Amino acid sequence: MALLQISEPGMSATPHQHRLAVGIDLGTTNSLVATVRSGLSGVLIDTHGYALLPSVVHYNADNSVEVGYEAQKKQNNDPHNTIVSAKRFMGRSLKDIDTSLLPYKFIDAVSSVSIVQIETRAGAKSPVEVSAEILKVLKARAESSLGGELVGAVITVPAYFDDAQRQATKDAARLAGLNVLRLLNEPTAAAVAYGLDNASQGTYVIYDLGGGTFDISILKLNRGVFEVLATNGDSALGGDDFDQRIFCWILETCKLSPRNAQDTRLLLSKAREAKEWLTEHAEANISCLLSDGEFVNLTLFYEHFIELTNNLVQKTLSPMRKAMRDTGLNIEDINGVVMVGGATRMPQIRKTVADFFKQTPLTNLDPDKVVALGAAIQANTLAGNKSDTDLLLLDVIPLSLGLETFGGLAEKVIHRNSTLPVARAQEFTTYKDGQTAMSIHVVQGERELVSDCRSLARFELRGIPPMVAGAARIRVTFTVDADGLLSVSACETSSNKEANIIVKPSYGLSEDEITNMLKASFTSAEQDKVARMLVEARVDAGAIVEAVSAALKVDSALLTAEEKHLIEVEINTLKNIALTENTDAIHQAIEVLNHATETFAARRMDVSIGEAFNGKNLDTINL
């Protein structure tokens, strides 16, 4: 099959070549892609010279789509089939969304868990699919302007996104054919761009109010290390809400009856224009003709706009206070406050932040671009390109993770603001004689009742040997990786028979759904799951061969001749097997090579960490 001979991302690049990697800001209102070229981070523009891509997707009847400005033009005339602000629905079910003001037909799609979908003329679309369309356009833009295939991308997410929303974002990237190097928190990305640009040291606050999300992060900047001390926010608060306040005011003032979808979209657009106008003017004129011939002609004064939106501005104060308390710092300890996100252009926001922190906020970076620029810098580092700055980001988990215990209470296992990666175990026992199964319910949130937290996963641990009540020891381990994504494993430790399972909560899409969607997007009909798995196995094989070969080139002195020979033999075996179409054999050979390099990996790390460990062997460190 000719299609399979096309080199996959990450396979063709030789170690010393500049690897093409980008940072993508997948925003509620606008999205951007940026990259580092000749040591400088810059935003990539489209063929018309635009940097911003409106996060709008329009579906045509023939399943073709328009994304960005073209789609935005259609939103007033064809609101049902033009999806804006899809980010607000990521990882959400229907009950999480206030649908009253939105011109969409929502459906609650129940696959493994309930996720929301939007009915369009091209069929039901999940927010993951909509976001994937936006990502595809940015990927194509990057590949055409950089002239090659991307090794991978860093995609930014609001710091306050929970596990479901992060997983959904990762699924969208996968659907768009992007290799995700890292999910990066938006305020952290902004801090990188700001901190490196201004050579800042000290404690900084990032106030990030975007189109649909609000984040506050407090970071310590120290010689290229960006350590997040605390983060907080509201993943359903942003510039969109200010538009809606104006929209409701128009309806009230003109005594308009509930509107159809076209009028709703038109009035929301007018509301947004008025909001933006009021950033630099004392009054805004709102006029338009509605579908029933009614004419709207109003003037909104700045003072009144402040009144209408005051409680939205106040809503950002509580997360600010919480984050400050979590760090244990005082206002005087803050060296600077960086404003990020288009909504921070509103003067009342800037004033509120200035009053709270008793200093003028920093607005010298473009609030629309700073997140993408920071993500590009991180992508460049993660792709393995050499850079002058030794960058390290230490981020935290925004919301506590826990388990349901008796009486519907949530027992926290990992607390919010724990530095990533983090792992923690909790022991439970059986409460009935002879009990052989236990159900485990994983939740995320700060509240004490499970019903007030977000449910992430439910699973059954089976095969517990029958014992008297309280004798079994079930150890549940939570692991959160550097992307902020959770996996849970559980085992019964008192018996020799260990029941061990690993669960990755998944709310975005199932493996089969992704296969089906990828299949539908291929023109070639014979592409199926088997072929995709073979492609993925070959990509994995290529990646490990490349990584091990690169390591051997640098550090073969750490191995005896015999050890080195053994690894080389396994590399060659894997290379040969990867040429066959036997997916299972490829996976096995990867496993064998992986096993053969474990000692090598530990020795390499020993050397690099060096003196801080007093020369002790890392094999002696156990979790």
Partner 1 sequence: MTQNYFELFGLEAMFGIDQTLLEVNYRHIQSESHPDRFVTGTPAEKLKSMQLATLANEAYQTLKSPANRAAYFLTLKGITTITETNTAMPSDFLMQQMEWREAIEDAKFAKNMSALDDLLTEIKQEAKTLNAELISAIDTQKDYGAATKSTRKLIFMDKLTIDINKVIELIEN
> Which residues in this chain contact partner 1 in the complex, by CB under 8 A?
181-182, 222, 225, 227, 318, 321-322, 325, 381-384, 390, 392-394, 418-423, 479, 481-482, 543-544, 546-548, 550-551, 590, 594-595, 597-598, 600-602, 604-605, 608-614, 616, 618, 620-623
Residue tagged active-site, from 25, 133, 163, 570:
25
Residue 95 or 223: the one with the smaller Cβ distance to partner 1 is 223
Give how far the C-alpha of residue 550 lies from the chain's centroid of Cα atoms, to the nearest Å: 30
Among this protein's residues, is 355 annotated catalytic? no
Q: How far is the CB of 567 from partner 1 (least distance, A)?
A: 10
**What is the three-class DSSP state of 514?**
helix
φ, ψ for residue 245, nearest 5 deg: -60, -40
Q: How far is the CB of 613 from partner 1 (least distance, A)?
A: 7
Q: How far is the CB of 325 from partner 1 (least distance, A)?
A: 6
Cα 533 to Cα 137, 173, 451, distances in angstroms = 25, 18, 39
The gap between the terminal CA atoms of the chain, to the nearest Å, is 46
Residue 43 or 571: the one with the smaller Cβ distance to partner 1 is 571
Q: How far is the CB of 50 from partner 1 (least distance, A)?
A: 31
Among this protein's residues, is 25 annotated catalytic? yes
Of 59, 57, 121, nearest to 84 by C-alpha is 57
Q: How far is the CB of 393 from partner 1 (least distance, A)?
A: 7
Residue 129 or 570: the one with the smaller Cβ distance to partner 1 is 570
**Degrees to nearest 5, angle at CA 349 with 343 and 352:** 160
- Specify the amino acid at residue 120: T
Q: How far is the CB of 258 from partner 1 (least distance, A)?
A: 31
CA distance 306 to 293: 31
Residue tagged active-site, from 208, 215, 234, 243:
208
Alpha helices in 97-233 (DSSP H): 127-146, 163-175, 186-198
Residue 82 or 381: the one with the smaller Cβ distance to partner 1 is 381
CA distance 156 to 187: 9
Residue tagged active-site, from 46, 66, 74, 87:
87
Of 206, 168, 21, nearest to 484 by C-alpha is 168
Residue 46 or 570: the one with the smaller Cβ distance to partner 1 is 570
Residue 223 or 255: the one with the smaller Cβ distance to partner 1 is 223
Among this protein's residues, is 87 annotated catalytic? yes
- Specify the amino acid at residue 199: A
Residue tagged active-site, from 129, 186, 243, 483:
186
Q: What are the residues facing 232 on neighbouring strands? A: 216
- Specify the amino acid at residue 173: A
Among this protein's residues, is 171 annotated catalytic? no
What 3 state SS string does 334-350 have? Answer: CCEEEEECHHHHCHHHH
Of 452, 455, 479, nearest to 403 by C-alpha is 455
Active site residues per annotation = 25, 87, 186, 208
